[in-house]
Chain A
Amino acid sequence: MTVSPPVPGPRRGPGAPASPPAGERTAPARDGRGAAGGPAVPAPGRGRGRRGGAWWPYLLIAPTVAGALFLLVYPVARSVVISLQHFRTGELIRGGAAFVGLENYRELLGDAEFWEVVRRTAVWTAVNVVLIMVISTLVALMAARLGRRTRLAVLGGLVLTWATPVLAATTIFQWLFQSRLGVVNWLLVRLGLDGFTDYPWFADGTSTFAILVMLVVWQSVPFAALTLYAGLTTIPAELEESARIDGAGGRQVFTAVTFPILRPLFGLITSLEVIWVFKCFAQIWAVSKGGPDGATTTLPVYAFQVAQSLHKYDLGAAVSTLTVLILVVALLAHLRRVHRHEGEEGEAR
């Protein structure tokens, strides 16, 4: 099987349509923009013959808005309402929940366990995102320096990893780290570490946490690395060369040329990874259910546990609300950038 590199050639911008005329016309423009100021979206231009005042833009977004209202806004609102009620199994089944004001939030914020979970979620997110970004950057830089065939193989491997569904991946990792017959234990014993004979990885909080980090990093690196690699290929080779002629070493070229050009891309990928890692639920739930002893309980897992295992749906809803608030605050910079960006190009111009 052949898996071609995500970006056909270094001179074509990411996303350039495949058919030649348009591709040739748009790609250079996008490259230039990318090199100068980061990945920018050409704005709906003034004077391009678009009538702006009509009502039909609103018709176009109507299905999106309708879907979001019913399937997102309404559930979120409902969830917030539940967090303000006494809503347990009885209320779920019989209805008739009573409002209790901020009682659930008070209980939650006064609970040491909640703060422990928040702290753990922060650690979880930081460890994963840092690892993902560092490894992806290294892989992308490496891929750019490889010969064509090796590069194809490496990129192909990344795509394969990327295509592995979450549930299949978690099953595979459980099998790899199985205490009996697991290939990881076998390998470690072969390397002379006899202590790993039948070592129960999932019995200990720290090792379970570590395995989950490996799993999430393994699954997340391909996206980040492939994107960064694509970004690297848009940097005109002359820029790096001239830096090198000026006597810069590999590291200096990266910090002085490569990183500044790709900074928006880095910011963007980091933000996306923060969202994904922070929200990560399926992997943790499938592997450890937040255990052992809560060592892998992050906020989404905690919300699920409180609601589904303890049947405290009200508290679970409160956890969810706080989770979203924390995430929004953490990504405020990202959102403001989006907002500003849209402003520059849209209405403001």
Chain B
Amino acid sequence: MRYRLLAATGVLALAAGLSGCGSSEPSPGASGSAAPEKLTVWIMRDSMSDALLGRFESGFEASHPGVALDIQIQEWDGIGQKVTSGLASNDAPDVIEVGNTQVAEYAASGGVKDLSDKVADLGGADWLPGLAEPGKIDGRQYGIPWYAANRVVIYNKDLFAKAGVGGPPKTREEWLDVTAKLNKGGYQGIYLAGQNWYTLAGFIWDEGGDLAVKEGEAWRGTLDTPQALAGMDFYTRLQALGKGPKDSDEARPPQADVFAKGDVAQLISTPGGAVAIEKANPGLAGKLGFFPIPGKTAGEPGAVFTGGSDLIIPEASKHHDSAYEVVKALAGEQFQLDMAKEMSYVPNRVSLGGVLDGDEGTAAMAAGAANGHATPNSANWAAVEARNVIKEYMTKALTGADAAAEARAASQVITSILNTKS
């Protein structure tokens, strides 16, 4: 019997050994040894170009000997679970990019390092409020503003010329006319995925509605107001002028790839989307134009969601000091200027805004940014996004269900999620 038990133990050890080999965990670099300190940085898919990140990595490692960066690209799908797991682990990633609609939740969880005493060092007085505010809870700064962007219309100049469309439309009605004209002969007037809810939010704000409002202490979902329904109605009319899937969002399939095939006239995206399009199809370089999302009247551009990202350092990171150096570099002037040029993003500081003058995409974005809005400022908003409440409502409305009834149901769900005590 002893013989067999020994054999069993042997296999156990073998199995443990096998799987042990599999983990490529670096030996913890003892300070003073030659092994570099390895920092893990999580960046969201498509938020920065590979070239930009590559430049940053080599530049940072050159100026910080003894530190090696491991930049890992994360998928948006399921990111809430992933970041939460990271924050809750004992050995978290050292720097994480989080969307400005989600940063409040992480900051409230207690797993993010409080960087209030570094605000001055980072030039915090000059930050974009739309990025700094969500990162701040009870006067303490947890999220460091990184970049902002809002959506514009990217268009294919060739297709506009071919359809005889003179210039970009100025009003919504004009926009529908132009798009209908473009949506002919095997071309798509616009590629608008059915679940592009940031775009819908803009239309709803244009009508004077909102996604949810806070009444006293309680939140109420407001997708079922006449204003919000009017916004959905406009979305439906626009969406029909192309072949965007009604049951999917802009990431599935990646809309830049669809546009890159060359048969789509317009796309709603941040100007940075043009980088991805040209990468997928270099033949389109120089043929892309930009204009702000048209509003109800010619005088005012359409309302847009001010998107963007903050950077956080998890409490569970084992390299707080070096992590801060990374944040400082990413939020610093040099990277911000490089990023603004390459990605057409709005830098995190108001004073750097001038760098974008002369860039067509950014000009369109800046025009739209004048009418920028934010998602409801609640730590629970991330849960609304995670449960796809708005996306599923949109698909229903687009596929012929009773929009008013569906909007009422979706609003109730939003109300209950936002009023959940964490």
With an 8 A cutoff between CB atoms, is A309 at the interface?
yes
Q: Can you list 15 A-B contacts with CB-CB less than 8 angstroms, sorted by A residue number?
A: A89-B84, A90-B110, A93-B88, A93-B111, A198-B243, A200-B245, A203-B399, A204-B399, A292-B395, A293-B392, A309-B383, A310-B387, A310-B417, A311-B84, A311-B105
With an 8 A cutoff between CB atoms, is A308 at the interface?
yes
Hey, which chain A residues are within 8 Å of B108, CB to CB?
89-90
With an 8 A cutoff between CB atoms, is B161 at the interface?
no
Number of interface residues of A (CB under 8 A): 26
Mask for A267-295, Cβ within 8 A of B = 1, else 0?
Answer: 00000000000000000000001011100
B177-221 interface with A by 8 A CB criterion: 194
B88 & A309 in contact (Cβ 8 Å cutoff): no
| Given A59-B1, A312-B420, 6 additional A-B pairs, CB 8 A | A90-B109, A93-B111, A180-B245, A198-B243, A305-B387, A310-B383
Given A89-B422, A92-B88, A311-B383, does the pair A292, B396 have CB atoms closer than 8 Å?
Answer: yes
A179 & B245 in contact (Cβ 8 Å cutoff): yes
Hey, which chain A residues are within 8 Å of B395, CB to CB?
200, 203, 292
| Closest partner residue, chain A, to B387 (CB atom) | A309
Q: Which of A56, A59, A94, A308 contacts B81 (CB 8 A)?
A: A308
What's the Cα separation between A56 and B5 when bound, in Å?
Answer: 11
Binding site for A on B (CB under 8 A): 1, 5, 8, 12, 78, 80-81, 84, 87-88, 105, 108-111, 194, 243, 245-247, 315-316, 383, 386-388, 392, 395-396, 398-399, 409, 417, 420, 422
Hey, which chain A residues are within 8 Å of B245, CB to CB?
179-180, 200
What's the Cα separation between A56 and B4 when bound, in Å?
Answer: 12
A196 to chain B, nearest CB (A): 13
Hey, which chain B residues are within 8 Å of A179, CB to CB?
245-247
B411 to chain A, nearest CB (A): 13
| Closest partner residue, chain A, to B112 (CB atom) | A93
Q: Which of A63, A88, A309 contacts B422 (CB 8 A)?
A: A88
B84 & A92 in contact (Cβ 8 Å cutoff): yes
With an 8 A cutoff between CB atoms, is A202 at the interface?
yes
B386 & A309 in contact (Cβ 8 Å cutoff): yes
What's the Cα separation between A179 and B109 when bound, in Å?
Answer: 40
A310 & B386 in contact (Cβ 8 Å cutoff): yes
Closest 3 CB pairs of A and B: A93-B111, A203-B247, A309-B386
What's the Cα separation between A266 and B5 when bound, in Å?
Answer: 38
A93 & B383 in contact (Cβ 8 Å cutoff): no
What's the Cα separation between A311 and B422 when bound, in Å?
Answer: 9
Hey, which chain B residues are within 8 Å of A291, CB to CB?
388, 392
B246 & A200 in contact (Cβ 8 Å cutoff): yes
Hey, which chain A residues are within 8 Å of B398, CB to CB?
203
What's the Cα separation between A93 and B246 when bound, in Å?
Answer: 38
Mask for A176-219, Cβ within 8 A of B = 1, else 0?
Answer: 00011000000000000000001010111000000000000000
A38 to chain B, nearest CB (A): 33
What's the Cα separation between A289 and B247 when bound, in Å?
Answer: 13
Q: Which of A93, A94, A308, A310 contacts B420 (CB 8 A)?
A: A310
Hey, which chain A residues are within 8 Å of B387, CB to CB?
305, 309-310
A94 & B111 in contact (Cβ 8 Å cutoff): yes
What's the Cα separation between A243 and B422 when bound, in Å?
Answer: 68
What's the Cα separation between A280 and B194 when bound, in Å?
Answer: 29
A286 to chain B, nearest CB (A): 11
| Closest partner residue, chain B, to A203 (CB atom) | B247
Hey, which chain B residues are within 8 Å of A198, CB to CB?
243
Given A59-B1, A291-B388, A293-B392, does the pair A200, B247 have CB atoms closer than 8 Å?
Answer: yes
B415 to chain A, nearest CB (A): 14
Hey, which chain A residues are within 8 Å of B247, CB to CB?
179, 200, 202-203, 292
| Closest partner residue, chain B, to A308 (CB atom) | B81
B81 & A90 in contact (Cβ 8 Å cutoff): no
Hey, which chain B residues are within 8 Å of A289, CB to CB?
388
A292 & B392 in contact (Cβ 8 Å cutoff): yes
A102-153 interface with B by 8 A CB criterion: none
B109 & A89 in contact (Cβ 8 Å cutoff): yes
What's the Cα separation between A140 and B78 when bound, in Å?
Answer: 42
Hey, which chain B residues are within 8 Å of A93, CB to CB?
84, 87-88, 109-111, 315-316
| Closest partner residue, chain B, to A63 (CB atom) | B8
A94 & B246 in contact (Cβ 8 Å cutoff): no
Hey, which chain A residues are within 8 Å of B383, CB to CB?
309-311
B394 to chain A, nearest CB (A): 10
Hey, which chain A residues are within 8 Å of B392, CB to CB?
291-293
What's the Cα separation between A59 and B1 when bound, in Å?
Answer: 9
Which of A59, A204, A310 gathers the greatest number of chain B CB atoms within 10 Å?
A: A310
What's the Cα separation between A310 and B81 when bound, in Å?
Answer: 9
Hey, which chain B residues are within 8 Å of A88, CB to CB?
422
Hey, which chain B residues are within 8 Å of A202, CB to CB?
247
What's the Cα separation between A198 and B383 when bound, in Å?
Answer: 31
Hey, which chain A residues are within 8 Å of B111, CB to CB?
89, 93-94
| Closest partner residue, chain B, to A294 (CB atom) | B392
What's the Cα separation between A93 and B395 when bound, in Å?
Answer: 35
A148 to chain B, nearest CB (A): 41
Which of A92, A179, A203, A309 gathers the greatest number of chain B CB atoms within 10 Å?
A: A203
What's the Cα separation between A315 and B288 when bound, in Å?
Answer: 50
Hey, which chain A residues are within 8 Å of B81, CB to CB?
308-309
What's the Cα separation between A202 and B387 when bound, in Å?
Answer: 16
Hey, which chain A residues are within 8 Å of B422, CB to CB?
88-90, 311
A293 & B396 in contact (Cβ 8 Å cutoff): yes
